[in-house]
Chain A
């Protein structure tokens, strides 16, 4: 019987696992060199840190290369249909709030066909951790542009370049009220692991955009963050309580907020007190961060927002259930059938 409590918090005395315990016996079927391998490895590696018995962990995915993920995890898993994983995860959490549920999705799965469900799971703040693998392409269907592909992108379905403007997954998540939003990148293992740990511990919907390389259909789409030179120029590491600074030591730059408009300044040109100090608990400034991108701005990596004060959907709903059961007792069908207007025939 399910109890109405959240998933087990990391306990000191939790089970002692290693990465191996989370590797399933299935052959991994991604293309050699795919960024998904690094993500899988990082997830398997962080699982032991959560201190959650592995039978209480469920991975739910939609459809896409990324969504093959659950088969490779030695936990409970459900590979569902295109775009609908958030809805399925929501139903699972309503039935089983005691489980730790991860959703694995792609840029097409989560933002195209499943955009509506992603909006609503975030808005409701269901207690699930969502990993969106953003490779800016439809991998599984062999290379059409996706909702995150840049305008002008030439793909099989856009031989003369895409006419559409891309969406920023993090901005989307923040704009619809997500309580935890972070961005990380497949080639930075340590950062990825840190973000995974933090997201997994968040109570409520945690959303991580993982910039992922599809070396077959969209190689080096994130080169701005892979290339050493460019990475130094553009990567902004978010740290709570620290000023937002980036760039090489010789040309250190920072962000200041001009009202709600961010502006890039040279650090040496302004007093330190003028710099924008990152506050993870402020979702409003998080929303501004979500919109920043190179070349005008740096590319933020890290936790853009983390707000534990947002009520969790299933907690609220199940509290209602417990309250009415406490006040009026459990349902009794025999009594219900005879409630209201009745009459007797002899």
Chain B
């Protein structure tokens, strides 16, 4: 644990205070941009800033060096005020090669800081990026941006001259030069990175030495080189007091499952088949056998789903995680869980589709699949986390609801939440709501589909309980007795019963939080990973005195009971989504409101600015 220390002030150069900054490290897949970004994030977190991050990497494992599609980047926004998103336009861009320069320059603000590694701008790399001539020779560049041409490779090599490392090993340290330099520009403390270097290379003192030296060399370069005339400070943000950690969505989902495992004292069977961007949940859970979590890498997603249904039948908690293509495969088995009324949780970390689509990019286009993507009417509860840290609470809540109502619960995360991180106030696990579990043991008057009056849940019975031997299955059954039934009226009753069970989960949903006036011109309604961008855009409009509010749905099926009434308090309803309009359809169908969508399906998070503009257009539109 560490205190949030004020960054050591550098000597000499003037320091200007900013409230926030958006920076992006971009380079080749092999340039270590993800590590650089994560490390800078830690430095900013130590300095007490609020942060949001956006890692962005190619689907190819080892994309050919220097190519446009091999570019990997890490963006973050950090600030002394609340930070909702990784930011739209960049205040600073580090481009480690011509391909990164070409792909990302367009996102840099006019007047923004541009740091380029000149050594990489040689003929071969220029050709691979499709440049006829060196773009750095363009005199217009310096007019538009504050360009810093730095021979990062050469300076790295020089700093390591006397070390007994191979040339290639030395060159691999160059990302830390960039990190050192940017840390100087934004006066973030080097200490956490120095610690991380020591830990990471504990087995190889030469690497510790090399990376430390290069990091410091980058820092010193900023301090001494004439091209940098000033640097920036960003005060600590006002954040709720407490102990914080950095949290990604995937890890938070996994830990939420562990929290529920500990609370219920039940074993959890986690069955999954690897798929980007969900695999890390499997990897994380496999590390925590101490929680009696039994991870099962199944032969496919159907088997994964089957395994958790079997586990739930046995009286354990069943959880699976996948992405859109895998959820499609699970569909038939999810229907079985609906029919058998067993508590299972299905996590969908959405990615760009259809088919293989954009495996490493984010999207919100599986909402309809979660709602309706099964044969016949097979309703499931659907939840969606709003931020990386919220994934923890959503996973826990999903298990709580599944067990209480004996229903499958689908959690819709997405690629942005999965890999993005935020400073997260560590919760007190004892303050989480209880998850009472009762297994039926009395044989008297037992029937498999007897129902609890409040929740309509059927009894959960562990095989091994004497006197309660019974058979269930996917065939329609008579309510209460559970006997096979082809009776038309019984089927109609059971279809309604399964829907009503899900509807009853509405009892669990707290009143919707309205961000802004409780009535007015425009209400922005969002769900999932767009929370940050929507909130930031709404607050921007509010600061200009506009009667704009936003709400964010964490419960998508059932929808919050107070939602219909809230929607009617505004002249217009705007629903921004990374799909072609799915929640907006649900809202129009359910509440007969003339909601309009704002839709961009680019594999990228929505931007604050574009939502702000869409709000503006609605405000201007004639009533």
Query: Are A78 and B466 in contact, CB atoms less than 8 angstroms apart?
Result: no
B259 touches A78 (CB 8 A): no
Of the listed stretches A49-57, A180-188, A270-278, chain B binds A49-57
Cβ-defined partner of B244 (8 Å) among A53, A74, A84, A342: A342
Q: A98 touching B464 by the CB < 8 A rule?
A: yes
In the bound complex, residues from chain A placing their C-beta under 8 Å from that of B465 are 55
The digit string for B460-502, where 1 denotes a CB below 8 A from any CB of A, is: 0011111111111111000000011000000000000000000
Q: B48-95: which residues lie under 8 A (CB-CB) from chain A? A: 48
Q: Which of A119, A333, A346 contacts B259 (CB 8 A)?
A: A333
From known contacts A91-B269, A92-B310, A95-B269, infer whether A116 and B464 are also in contact, taking CB-CB under 8 Å: no
Which residue of A is nearest B195, CB measured?
A341
- Which residues on B sit within 8 Å (CB–CB) of A320? 289
Number of A positions contacting B (CB below 8 A): 64
Q: Do A80 and B473 form a contact, CB below 8 Å, given A91-B306, A328-B290, A330-B290? A: yes
Structural contact, A79 and B472, CB atoms closer than 8 A: yes
B-side contacts of A345, CB under 8 Å: 4, 48, 236, 239-242, 244
Chain A residues whose C-beta falls within 8 Å of the C-beta of B336 in the assembled complex: 80-81
Check: B418 CB closer than 8 A to any chain A CB: no
Q: Are A75's CB and B469's CB within 8 A? A: yes
The answer to whether A94 and B303 touch across the interface, beta carbons within 8 angstroms, is no
Stretch at the interface among B112-120, B291-299, B544-552: B291-299
Chain A residues with Cβ below 8 Å from B4 are 343-345
Q: What is the CA–CA distance of A70 and B468 in the complex, to the nearest angstrom?
A: 15
* Contact digits for B245-288, partner A, Cβ 8 Å, 1 yes 0 no: 11000000001001101100101010100000000000000001
Q: How far is the CA of A71 from the CA of B258 in the complex (A)?
A: 36
B291–A330 contact, CB under 8 A?
Answer: yes
Interface: A26 (CB within 8 A)? yes
- Binary interface profile of B, 541-560, with partner A (CB < 8 Å = 1, else 0)? 00000000000000000000
Docked-complex contact A96 and B300, CB < 8 angstroms: no
Q: How far is the CA of A89 from the CA of B311 in the complex (A)?
A: 8
Q: How far is the CA of A325 from the CA of B469 in the complex (A)?
A: 33
Residue B378 CB within 8 A of the other chain: no
Given known A56-B464, A94-B307, contact A324–B289 (CB-CB < 8 A): yes
Residue of A nearest to B475 (CB): A79
Measured between beta carbons, the chain B residues less than 8 angstroms from A85 are 306
Among B428, B466, B483, point to the contact of A26 (Cβ < 8 A).
B483
CA distance A168 to B39 in the complex (A): 57
A333→B262 CA distance, assembly (Å):
7
Q: Does B429 contact A (CB under 8 A)?
A: yes
Q: Judge if B376 is at the interface, Cβ distance under 8 Å.
A: no
Nearest-neighbour CB distance to chain A for B580, whole angstroms, equals 32
Return B288 CB to nearest CB of chain A, in Å: 6
Interface centre among B4, B265, B291, B428 (most CB of A within 10 A): B291
Contact string against A for B residues 296-319, beta-carbon threshold 8 Å, 1 for contact and 0 otherwise: 101110111111111111111010
Q: Which residues of A contact B483 (CB under 8 A)?
A: 26
CB contacts (< 8 Å) of A89 on chain B: these are 310
Flag whether A250 is at the interface (Cβ < 8 A): no
Q: Are B48 and A341 in contact (CB under 8 A)?
A: no
List, in ascending order, chain B residues with CB within 8 A of A338's CB.
Answer: 1, 243, 245, 426
Q: Report the minimum CB–CB distance from B319 to chain A (whole Å).
A: 11
Q: Which residues of A contact B472 (CB under 8 A)?
A: 77-79
CA distance A99 to B315 in the complex (A): 12
Task: From A76, A91, A117, give the contact of B308 (CB < 8 A).
Answer: A91
Closest beta carbon of chain B to A60's beta carbon, Å: 7
Chain A window 302-346, contacts with chain B (Cβ cutoff 8 Å), 1 for yes, 0 for no:
000000000000000110110011001111111011101111111
CB of A172 to closest CB in B, whole Å: 15
> Is the Cβ of A80 less than 8 Å from the Cβ of B294?
no
* Contact of B594 with A by CB under 8 A: no
A202 at the interface (CB under 8 A from B): no
Shortest distance between the CB of A87 and any CB in chain B (Å)? 3
Smallest CB–CB gap between A334 and chain B, Å?
5
Closest A residue to B396 using CB positions = A333
Question: B residues within 8 A CB of A94?
Answer: 269, 294, 296, 307, 310-311, 316
Could you tell me the distance in whole angstroms from the C-beta of B285 to the nearest C-beta in chain A? 11
Closest to A89 in B: B310
Q: How far is the CA of A328 from the CA of B483 in the complex (A)?
A: 47
Which B residues lie within 8 Å of A321 (CB)?
A: 289-290, 292, 294
B46 at the interface (CB under 8 A from A): yes
B308, B427, B463: the one within 8 Å of A55 (CB): B463
Rounded to whole angstroms, the CA-CA distance of A76 and B309 in the bound complex is 15
Let me know if A95 and B315 touch, CB within 8 A.
Answer: yes
* A299 interface residue (CB < 8 Å to B): no
Q: Nearest CB to that of A314 among chain B residues?
A: B294
By a CB distance below 8 angstroms, the chain A residues around B298 are 87, 90, 120
Answer whether residue A13 sits at the interface, using C-beta atoms and an 8 A cutoff: no
Residues of A within 8 A of B236 (CB): 345
Contacting residues, chain B, for A132 (C-beta < 8 A): none
Contact of B463 among A99, A120, A331, A333 (CB under 8 A): A99
B355 adjacent to chain A (CB < 8 Å):
no
Contact indicator B290/A331 (Cβ below 8 Å): yes
Which of A26, A88, A99, A346 meets B307, CB within 8 Å?
Answer: A88
Interfacial chain B residues near A116, Cβ < 8 Å: 299-300, 303
Which chain A positions have C-beta within 8 A of B410?
none
Interface assignment of A2: CB less than 8 Å from any CB of chain B: yes
A211 adjacent to chain B (CB < 8 Å): no
Residues A91 and B245 in contact, CB atoms below 8 Å apart: no
B26 at the interface (CB under 8 A from A): no
| Across-interface contacts of B267 in A (CB, < 8 A) | 2, 95
B318: A residues at CB distance < 8 A: 91, 95
Is A16 part of the contact surface with B, judged by Cβ < 8 Å?
A: no
Q: How far does the alpha carbon of A2 sit from the alpha carbon of B265 in the complex, in Å?
A: 11
A24 interface hit (Cβ, 8 Å): yes
| Contact in complex: A331, B261 (CB < 8 Å) | yes
B119 CB, nearest partner CB in chain A, Å: 32
B463 to chain A, nearest CB (A): 4
Q: Contacts A79-B474, A81-B474 known; A87 to B306 CB distance under 8 Å?
A: yes
With A24-B471, A88-B306 already in contact, 15 other A-B pairs whose C-beta atoms are closer than 8 Å:
A1-B265, A56-B463, A60-B310, A78-B473, A80-B306, A87-B298, A87-B304, A91-B296, A92-B463, A95-B318, A99-B314, A321-B290, A325-B292, A329-B290, A344-B243
15 contacts between A and B (CB under 8 A): A2-B314, A26-B484, A55-B468, A79-B474, A85-B306, A87-B307, A95-B269, A95-B318, A96-B463, A116-B299, A120-B298, A329-B290, A331-B292, A342-B1, A345-B244
A→B interface (CB under 8 Å): 1-2, 24, 26, 53-56, 58, 60, 63, 70-71, 73-81, 84-96, 98-99, 116-117, 119-120, 317-318, 320-321, 324-325, 328-334, 336-338, 340-346
